[in-house]
Structure 1
Amino acid sequence: MQDVDLALCLAVDVSASVDYDEYGLMMGGLAAACRDPAIIAAATGGPRGATALALLQWSGPAAQAVAVPWLRLDSAEAAERIAAAIDDSPRLPPPGATALGEGMVAGLALLGQFPADATRLVLDVSGDGAGNTGRPSGPVRDLGVQAGVTVNGLAVLNEEPDLLAHYEAEVIGGPGCFAMTCRDYADFREAIARKMLREIRGSLSV
């Protein structure tokens, strides 16, 4: 792996609250974002000409799995390979409780294992619930920020309408951090594309 402008870990909730159809909408949305010409242009437009992406799925305690390992997005062809890998990714962790903090630990570990240099490290957390088991997310977030990681959140509001407040207080942190919402998984595709574009462009984007 060559050096990149950004290493972006996409950490997605696959707990029991996410049904089969919602999982498909989520994977389809992530794959579509990787094929988005604006995202490809942003990912390849930095000084190093590349962004690295990895996909982590998380559920209950000890239920996290890397669905797509680190891949370098440095061209439209590479973006298509990443999108296809996401499209083809099976649901790996068993459905279970929402161990949000544990999922964040796994995402931070994956960023810590990135096999090259990245100018920025970002953990992109998507989920439809506050943590209800395992480590609390706030202290995990703080450890990530201390290590130089920015943590952003996408709160899917179909299960918990007040989830944004929890993400803002207990999940996001670091330079340029932000949280976004979408109403349900039918809106995930548009929301994750906006989120990834903002993350790739960096803290100066709006």
Structure 2
Amino acid sequence: MRHWLLPLAFLAHPLQAQEVDLELVLLADASGSIDQSEIDFQRQGYADAITHPDVLHAISSTLTGSIAVTYVEWAANQAVVVDWTIIATPDDAEAFATDLLLPPRLASGRNAIGAALLEGKRLIEGNGITGLRRVIDFSGDSANNWSGPSIAEARTEVLAAGITINALPILRPDSPQRAGGNLEEIYASQIIGGPGAFLVTADTGDSFTAAVRRKLILESAGSQPGVIPTSAP
């Protein structure tokens, strides 16, 4: 008879037995307006941010010294790119970053923002992890919702479950929304919500990774900064 040996660390610290400071769903835009180079760009930005010393310091400074994170791409469908990972050390963060860069694109099609928010809620409620705080971090370059539940309906359900929604509106250089700041206003009024909810704006240029890093620091620390533009230090 063949026996499978499980690592001792797994036996001693199963994922579902862990208590963390934060359960964080990273909902990343993979809709039709996002091409493959931008998929890669976003993933690299999150990989660089999650391994940055400032982010790791923020995580280690929490009550439990750890957070649980999953990365999900959303469009007409939602797909988990990296499953729930507890990050407490630089090695944990490096492993998450490596796993993030490997898979092919997993979501495509038109926007279904309401469905994406509800998928974030489902992932949090079904992960078996105990988090002191629970957050969905939604990123996107538009506010269109072509199918599935409405944004308002989904947002109401998520907030009623005690989950905070933060946002990362991505302002594209070729979009008229960039000049008027409409996307920021829409995300601020229609998407974010819950205790300490905030948004950090970014673009598809060099500031993206810095914006993601700032957002992860604030989420890990449990800060309540309101609306933070990309240009903020």
Q: So what's the TM-score if we normalise by structure 1?
A: 0.93
Using the alignment, how far apart are the partners of 1:185 and 1:132 within structure 2? 25
Deviating above 3 A after TM superposition, structure 1's stretches of 4 or more consecutive aligned residues are: none
**Aligned positions of 1:126-137 closer than 5 A:** 126-134=139-147, 135-137=149-151
User: Structure 1 residue 202 and structure 2 residue 222: aligned?
Assistant: yes
Figure out how many residues of one structure are paired with residues of the other and give that number.
203
Question: Alignment RMSD, CA only?
Answer: 1.5
Cα deviation for residue 104 of structure 1 reads: 0.9
> For the Cα contact (< 8 Å) 2:142–2:183, is it kept in 1?
yes
Structure 1 residues not aligned, in runs of 5+: none
Cα deviation for residue 204 of structure 1 reads: 4.8
- 1:183 pairs, out of 203, 206, 220, with 203
Q: What is the SS of the residue equivalent to 1:70?
A: strand
- 1:77 pairs, out of 91, 97, 112, with 91
Q: Deviations over 1:133-182 (max 9, x none)?
A: 12221221121111111100000111443211111111100000011211
**Aligned positions of 1:39-58 closer than 5 A:** 39-58=55-74
User: Structure 1 residue 18 and structure 2 residue 34: aligned?
Assistant: yes
Q: So what's the TM-score if we normalise by structure 2?
A: 0.83
Q: What is the SS of the residue equivalent to 1:32?
A: helix
Q: 2:230: which partner in 1?
A: none
Using the alignment, how far apart are the partners of 1:49 and 1:17 within structure 2? 37
Cα deviation for residue 205 of structure 1 reads: 6.1
Cα deviation for residue 187 of structure 1 reads: 2.9
Q: 1:103: which partner in 2?
A: 116
Using the alignment, how far apart are the partners of 1:186 and 1:4 within structure 2? 32
Q: What is the SS of the residue equivalent to 1:40?
A: helix
Q: 1:167: which partner in 2?
A: 187
> For the Cα contact (< 8 Å) 1:156–1:185, is it kept in 2?
no
Aligned residues with identical type, % of pairs: 33
Using the alignment, how far apart are the partners of 1:136 and 1:192 within structure 2? 26
Counterpart of 2:56 in structure 1: which amino acid? I
> For the Cα contact (< 8 Å) 1:175–1:203, is it kept in 2?
no
Q: Deviations over 1:93-126 (max 9, x none)?
A: 2x21111111111111111112221000000001
Counterpart of 1:126 in structure 2: which amino acid? S
Using the alignment, how far apart are the partners of 1:157 and 1:43 within structure 2? 28
Structure number with greater Rg is 2
Using the alignment, how far apart are the partners of 1:189 and 1:87 within structure 2? 15
Q: Deviations over 1:15-60 (max 9, x none)?
A: 0100111111100000001111111111122221210000111101
Name the structure, 1 or 2, with higher relative contact order (CA <8 Å, separation 6+).
1
Using the alignment, how far apart are the partners of 2:192 and 2:224 within structure 1? 17
> For the Cα contact (< 8 Å) 1:14–1:59, is it kept in 2?
yes
